[in-house]
């Protein structure tokens, strides 16, 4: 998901392996991963497992909260995220927060990978 958000569809084997590892961390089955990779082309939408939909919606609501220092992404501003949750009266579980943090760490890595090229 992080790779798709940062770069678009997966295009090479290394990206497919990283995506597979991310999906496994989020609880995807081998069948889920296989189906996603088959459908993940430039012409297809990104598939989200239903149980992860609230996390993705949360991520998209706060994806403007990434912090940068001298052009390097340092991650999301946790205090801003907490304030956003409180002020918007949305409720998330600790498990969803754990998944959000994992997703934002993956996105941070993806955003910074652009600097390495």
| pLDDT given at position 42 | 57
CA 88, distance to chain mean position in Å, is: 21
Predicted TM-score (pTM) of the model is: 0.63
| pLDDT given at position 71 | 87
Q: Are 13 and 20 in contact (CB under 8 A)?
A: no
| pLDDT given at position 8 | 63
| pLDDT given at position 110 | 84
Q: What Rg value do the Cα atoms of the chain yield, rounded?
A: 15
Low-confidence ranges of the chain (pLDDT < 50): none
| pLDDT given at position 31 | 86
């Amino acid at each position: 998901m992080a790779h798709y958000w940062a770069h678009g569809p997966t295009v090479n084997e290394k990206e497919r392996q990283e995506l597979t590892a991310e999906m496994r961390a989020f609880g995807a089955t081998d069948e889920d991963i296989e189906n996603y990779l088959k459908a993940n082309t430039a012409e297809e939408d990104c598939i989200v497992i239903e149980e992860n939909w609230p996390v993705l919606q949360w991520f998209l609501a706060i994806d403007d909260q990434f912090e940068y220092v001298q052009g390097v992404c340092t991650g999301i501003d946790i205090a801003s995220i907490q304030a956003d949750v409180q002020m918007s009266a949305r409720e998330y579980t600790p498990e969803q927060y754990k998944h959000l943090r994992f997703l934002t760490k993956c996105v941070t890595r993806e955003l910074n990978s652009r600097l390495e090229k």
